[in-house]
Amino acid sequence: MTTTVRTGELRGNSFNGKDLSTPQKLMIFVLSMSLFGLSNILVEVIPEFTIGPVEIALAYFVFIPLVLAALFNPFWVALGAPLGEIIFTDLLLGDFSGIGEIEGFIQMFLAIYIAGSLIRNPLSKAQVAFGAIMIVVIDKFLSAIVDLSKVWFGLEDAEFVEGLPESMLLIEVIGFGVDILLSGIVFGVIPALWLVPKLYGRIEPLMGMQPRQPGKPIQGSTPGIGITVALVFVLGAASAVFAFLEAWGADFGAAEWEWLDTYGPAILLVPAAIFVVLLAGVFVFAGKQRKQP
Amino acid sequence: MSERKTHDVLSMEWIKLELIRTAYATRGGLFAKMDPRVVLLWYLLLGGAPWFTHNITVLAILFGLGVISVIAARVGPLVLGLFVLSLVVEVINVFVVAWFVGGDVGTLLALSELSLKLGAVSLASMAAFVSLDPEKLSSALLALKAPVMLAFSVSYGFRILPILIDEFSIVMEGYQLRGAPAKAPGFLGWRSVSRWGKHAVLAFYPIFLNVATSVRTTVEALETRGLNHSVTHPEGRRLRLSHLQTGTLDWIVVAVTFVGIVFAFWVGAVAPIHR
Amino acid sequence: MSTPIIEVRDLSFCYPGADTDTLRNVNLTIERGDFVAVVGGNGSGKTTLCKTFNGLVPHYWQGEFAGSVHVDGIDTWNSSVSELSTRVGYVYQDFQNQLVRPTVRDEVAFAPLNFGLADYDDRTSDALDALGIEALAERFIWQLSGGQAHLTALASVLAMRPSVVIVDEPVAELDPARAHEVYRRLTELNAHGITVIAIEHHAEFIAEYARSVVLMSEGTPVWHLPVEDAVNRTEELEGHGIPAPEVIVACRALGAKKAPRSVQAAADFIRENTREDAWKQSIRVPATQRDTSEVVLSAREVNHSRKGVGGKAQPILRGLNVDLYQGDRVALVGGNGAGKTTLLRILAGLDVPRSGTIEVAGVNTRSRSAARMANLVSYLYQTPSKMFLRDSIEADIRLFPAGRKADDVDELVEKVLTRVRLNEFADRDGRTLSGGQQRRAALAIGLAMRPSVLLLDEPTSSLDIASRDDVTDLLNELSDSIACSVVATHDMHLVSDWASRVLVLADGHITADLTPADLFADTELLARTNLVPPQIVRLGSALGLDPPPLNVADLVKAVRTSAVVEA
């Protein structure tokens, strides 16, 4: 091409390989919101099978946020996807639960962000597969806690309905298994393993970005691991608190906080503790991944 | 083989139209005429009330109020249909669970309390949010000091929804025509379902790339049109909200609802059905 | 003389990771009130150059930036996209994606609101007014036609009352009538003092509307000349992929020194410089006898309607009857919204009409699923990227024959690729190809389905002239493998160069079934259906030739009988 020398004085290079510019963040966010929103509409029209109380239903197309989180900065993907779900399906289909949406948003945000952060190399099959499962595990685990507590506190004296807590737990466990299998594997791992390598190096230039370098921190990485852990923990706690807020709301009229007397305030720490254990596992895994060349 | 006909319902096109109608509240309806901020307040009122009681009488009346609101809001058949379907599933579940745990009428009532409660709340949110077109909702969010990006995303989401659905339908049509031909549907149509599922997943490869291309232009255009500027400068927010005005209708609806809720709690106190 | 609105000095720009500068040592001055056409081949840097004017380069698209760009006295390096956007408006080539609001009024008010301008209401009304689209104000964006959407995008940048408006290839996504409309509006804006910069490679539009032309090549301007001089450099422009307008070619062939810029000017030139009696008699093109022995596709009493958002069924096709014969090359024309796409989809068996029957090679479309009809008839979408489902065009071409377990898949794919001359791109994703290559790839996908009837929706829209001629040639070669092809199009060049039969769709049925020459002679029909004939046909009509000639050679032949006096 042109071999002549540049005559103009170099003003500088506005490109900085580390940070994402605001529009780039917005692009990832909008893409994630649109695609996950669209996929949620599709999920809504897929027939569901109900065998007794156990629903065999597809929760979401996990591979969509996962593919994006593997290729782009997971933070912005995680922010966009649950918003897409809320706007496209919940709001439009009248399934909007007002304040309750916040709890769903936080669950999904955490699930995608943590799972996406685990993927250091988008071309590693193991990491992508693990990420897909993790999204479902984290999301469903958080929502199971919320569900159980809703029933527990939404019903007056639920513990007096004989056998109910046990069967509720059983139903949750079966539901959990179904979700891992259907949402996590059939519509998670399998499509993601196919799609990530196909899109890698193709989709980034379309959005004016460079493909992610395996092993290197992703462009626009959120600050150090310490802050990340803190952030995730705060959000996790917030999610639990929201669940409990709802539960409190349910009890305002009738109950006299008996459960608090029965179990003591320590009950509040149960979900938080479980969450911390989960997180610890995640970061141990993440640490191992990073050490690998 | 039966002859092919044109279907107006249950096609992708129909879903798209239904969503657009819902989104833009073109059906009219009571809440569509109200100030969006008051609609949110109204929602907090009727959507919040069920959480403060375990009394089935009260919950039933609140559920009734919800039904009236949904009728007044002229909610479309798709949204309503999905709600009724989930309610039916819920009721079946209640019976199955009751039978499963070997419970009696008491168990049944306890469980229907939860269903009734959740049902009443969803009816209120359906009436409110179906009536708020994205612009109104976005304004209400702005008025409540929500981030500019959130308010924008809400209205933008509805703008691209029809485009996304078209995109998906065309890709699926491509697979339908050019992919391997369909075999017999199989038991419970599992082969058709799995074929659809496979195509739906495959469809996302082109959709990812096509949508990425258009998002690039969109975001670039947003930059030139000052969306970023409005995030840091509040004048835009003020101007956008200056047209919001509450009227008599707004307060009448809130007052009537309030009276209805008080009435529900009064009847509940007089004639409680309580477990 | 006032200061120039845009002054570019020694500008170089390099995208991150790129080996060479996209822009190299650009020096350019654009005067206030100019109407500039920026031309140049693909990759010549014209879009990047225009994006330096509103600061998108280097503030949004980042990279190495050397030299300076001053817009209205502001150094863009020290400014921001927000600040520059109040002075420079930009309308994208894929303008549909720049519309983000639900209604036209909201869209136009969007930028003024974001910038917190209290008079946003006046600005909105003024912008709508300036483009004559007040009537659309309350419409939803998704209800707009392409032309209306483009004007809305233009109005939305005008609401900021910019000094400069940049329009990127308006003709690419619009039919010629709408494109002329957009250019006329731009000319009006220009008359009110707004500097207009248009990226354009249709010489016809450049010659008719621009005041000056910048030719870009390899990231740098080759020259910036007044339009009169620029359009006369026909060879040079042709070398950069911009063939001269037909009127200029014709007048040059007739000995003109200075090329006329519009049809009217060309007609005047020919009238003044020739003896009228010599060319007044028209040349009769012998009507080709059509072979109507074998009906390939027939439609009988077809009625179709679509449910709108209002819930009412809007009739699209009403009692349509047509027979297509072996060897037909049919151009289906009609205004926007006439139902061309609906008809093609019904003919292809993708949809079935509410009443009436379609038979393709004797098979009723109602009796077979759309997937099975695909063996007989294939339909190609207007946007080729919608047909790229896989990650390489080879896989896309293979999809259909492989799915149906044909025995000669490899052979067929190879043959089709060769036919469309895309062998070297076989493993590329279709989306990464140029516009013309994308069309050819889409065509290849259709051919691999081995249909007897091929239906194409706007196969030449948004193509530059060279790629368009390429596609037309390819269509010309298909007659041996396809029994009959139907093309829905606004492109009258395609109609004149390729079609043997024109069907005019209006009011839900075929209102005229005639040859291209007869179509172009029928001015009343053309006006009613919003069609703009090719320049050369318009020139012929302006000279009173009946029927008007369909190509330059015929016109020249008709006129040449008399000596042309030196201009």
Residue pLDDT, tens place only, B9-18: 556 677 677 6
Per the DSSP assignment, residues forming a β-bridge with A49 are: A56
pLDDT cut 90: percent of chain B above it: 11
Average pLDDT, chain A: 72
Q: What is the pLDDT, as a whole number, of residue B29?
A: 76
Instruction: Residue A207: name the closest of B214, B159, C14 by CA.
Output: B214
What pLDDT digit, counting tens, does each position of B209-249 carry?
A: 999 988 988 988 988 988 888 888 888 888 888 878 888 88
Q: Residue for token digits 């909702």?
A: B137
Cα–Cα dist C390/C410, whole Å: 17
Whose CA is closest to C198, among C221, C164, C160, C239? C164
Distance of CA A107 to the CA centre of its chain: 6
In the A/C pair of chains, how many CB contacts fall below 8 A? 74
Q: Does residue B87 have a pLDDT over 80?
A: no
- Across the interface, whether the CB atoms of C115 and B230 are under 8 A apart is answered yes
Nearest-CA distance C137 → chain B (Å): 16
Is the model more confident about C139 or about A152? C139
Between the alpha carbon of residue B90 and those of residues A58, A205, B105, B119, C2, the distances in Å are: 17, 47, 17, 10, 75
Residue of C nearest to B133 (CA): C102
Per-residue CA distances from B171 to B164, B165, C387, C460 (Å): 11, 10, 7, 21
Q: Is A193 on the interface with B (CB under 8 A)?
A: no
Tokens at residue C512, please? 């005229």
In DSSP notation, C458-490 reads: STTTT--HHHHHHHHHHHHHGGGT-SEEEEE-S
- Of A235 and A196, which is predicted with more confidence? A196
Cα C216 to Cα B253: distance, rounded to the nearest angstrom: 64
Check CB contact of C94 with chain A, cutoff 8 Å. no
Name the minimum distance, in Å, from the CA of C101 to any CA of chain B: 6
Residue A49 CB contacts under 8 Å (≥ 6 apart), including other chains: A55, A56, A57
Contact C309 B20 (CB under 8 A): yes
Largest CA distance in chain B: 67
Q: What is the per-residue pLDDT for C25?
A: 92
Angle of helix C552-560 versus helix C535-542 axis, rounded to 10: 30
Given a contact cutoff of 8 angstroms between Cβ atoms, the answer to whether C459 and C487 are in contact is yes
Cβ pair A8:C10 closer than 8 A: yes
Inter-residue contact A113 to A74 (CB < 8 Å): yes
What letter does residue C140 receive in the DSSP assignment?
Answer: B
Kindly tell me if the per-residue pLDDT of A37 is higher than 50: yes
Q: Tokens standing for C277?
A: 């009696």
- The side-by-side arrangement of strands in the sheet containing C295-307 is C313-325, C295-307, C355-360, C363-364
Nearest C-alpha neighbor of C55 from the set C44, C66, C43, C69: C69
| CB-based burial label for B104 (10 Å; 0-12, 13-18, 19+) | exposed
- Please say if the pLDDT value at position A220 is more than 70: no
Rounded Cα distance between C267 and C243, Å, is: 20
Provide the 8-state DSSP code for C89: E
Mean pLDDT rounded to a whole number for chain B: 80
Which of A11, A198, A210 is the closest to C66 by Cβ?
A11
Half-sphere exposure of B9 (CA within 13 A, CB side): 4
Mapped onto helix, strand or coil, the DSSP state of residue C224 is strand
Q: A241 or B92, which is more confident?
A: B92
Q: Which of C423, C391, C395 lies closest to C409 in space, CA to CA?
A: C395
Cβ(B208)–Cβ(A192) below 8 Å: no
Tell me how close the Cα of B267 comes to any Cα of chain C, in angstroms.
42
**Is the predicted pLDDT of residue A252 greater than 50, yes or no?**
no
Residues of B in Cβ contact (< 8 Å) with C307: 8, 14, 17
B189: left (phi over 0), alpha (psi -120 to 50) or beta: left
Q: What is the DSSP string of chain B?
A: -PPP----SSSHHHHHHHHHHHHTTTT--TGGGS-HHHHHHHHHHHHHGGGG---HHHHHHHHHHHHHHHHHTT--HHHHHHHHHHHHHHHHHHHHHHHHTT--HHHHHHHHHHHHHHHHHHHHHHHHHHHS-HHHHHHHHHHTT--HHHHHHHHHHHHHHHHHHHHHHHHHHHHHHHSSPP----GGGHHHHHHHHHHHHHHHHHHHHHHHHHHHHHHHHHHHTTHHHHHH-THHHHHHHTT----HHHHHHHHHHHHHHHHHHHHHHHS----
Binary contact (A16, C68; C-beta < 8 A): no
Question: Above 60 in pLDDT, residue B43?
Answer: yes
Distance from the A18 Cα atom to the nearest Cα atom in chain B, whole angstroms? 20
- B102 pLDDT higher than 70: no
What pLDDT is recorded for position C102? 81
Pairing mode, if any, of strands C6-14 and A10-13? Answer: unpaired
Instruction: Check residue A229 and give its pLDDT.
Output: 54
Interchain CB distance below 8 Å, B208 and A97: no
pLDDT of residue B11: 61
- B17 with C156: Cβ contact below 8 A: no
Polymer length of chain A: 293
The residues, any chain, with a CB within 8 Å of residue C24's CB and separated by 6 or more, are A1, A2, A4, A6, C12, C218, C219, C220
pTM (2 decimals)? 0.82
Neighbours of chain B (3+ CB pairs under 8 A): A, C
Task: Give the end-to-end CA distance of chain C in Å, rounded to a whole number.
Answer: 34
Q: For tokens 């804006």, name the residue.
A: C189
At residue A186's C-alpha, the angle toward residues A180 and A192, to 5°, is 105
Report the SS3 class of residue C228: helix
Instruction: Select the residue of B117, B126, B149 nearest A94 (Cβ to Cβ).
Output: B126
Residues from chain A that touch B130, judged by Cβ atoms under 8 A, are: 94
Range 68-87 of C in CB contact (< 8 A) with A:
68, 77
CA gap A125, C397 in Å, rounded:
29
Is the minimum CB–CB distance between A159 and chain B shorter than 8 Å?
no
pLDDT of A285 above 50: no
Phi, psi of B45 (to 5 degrees): -65, -60
The predicted model gives A149-166 an average pLDDT of 59
| Cβ–Cβ gap A23/C66 under 8 Å | no
**The predicted structure's pLDDT at residue B23:** 61
Please check the confidence at residue B96 and state whether its pLDDT lies above 60: yes
Q: Collect all residues from A whose CB is shorter than 8 A from any CB in C.
A: 1-2, 4, 6-17, 21, 23, 198, 202, 206, 208, 210
Contact B178 C449 (CB under 8 A): yes
What was the pLDDT predicted at C541? 85
R_g of chain C computed on alpha carbons: 25
Which letter does DSSP use for residue C394 in this model? H
pLDDT in the model for residue C76: 93
Chain A neighbors of C63, CB-CB under 8 A? 13-15
pLDDT, tens digit only, all 567 positions of chain C = 568 999 999 999 988 777 888 899 999 999 999 999 999 877 788 889 999 999 988 888 888 899 999 999 999 999 989 889 999 999 998 898 999 988 899 999 999 999 999 999 999 999 999 888 999 998 888 778 788 899 999 999 999 999 999 999 887 767 777 788 889 999 999 999 999 999 987 888 898 899 999 999 889 999 999 998 898 888 888 888 788 888 888 888 888 877 788 888 888 888 887 766 555 554 555 555 667 778 999 999 999 988 766 667 788 899 999 999 998 999 999 877 788 889 999 999 998 999 999 999 889 999 988 888 998 999 999 888 889 999 999 999 999 999 888 889 999 999 999 988 899 999 999 988 888 889 999 999 999 999 999 999 988 877 777 788 888 888 888 877 889 999 998 888 889 889 999 999 988 889 999 998 889 888 888 888 878 888 888 888 888 887 788 888 888 887 775 544 443
Contact flag C66-A9 (C-beta cutoff 8 Å): yes
Express each pLDDT in B130-176 by its tens digit: 777 777 788 888 887 878 878 888 888 878 888 888 899 899 999 98
Q: Choose among C23, C81, C91: nearest CA to C55.
A: C81
Is the distance from CB of A20 to CB of B192 less than 8 angstroms? no
Helix (H) or strand (E) holding C324: strand C313-325
| C24 to A12: CB separation less than 8 angstroms, yes or no | no
- For helices C120-130 and C104-114, the axis angle rounded to 10 degrees is 130
Residue C89 with chain B: CB contacts under 8 Å: 224
Mean pLDDT of A268-280: 49
Task: State the CB neighbour count (10 A cutoff) for residue B10.
Answer: 10
Which residues 77-136 of A have a C-beta within 8 angstroms of B?
A: 83-84, 87-88, 91-98
For residues C439 and C459, is the Cβ–Cβ distance under 8 A?
A: yes
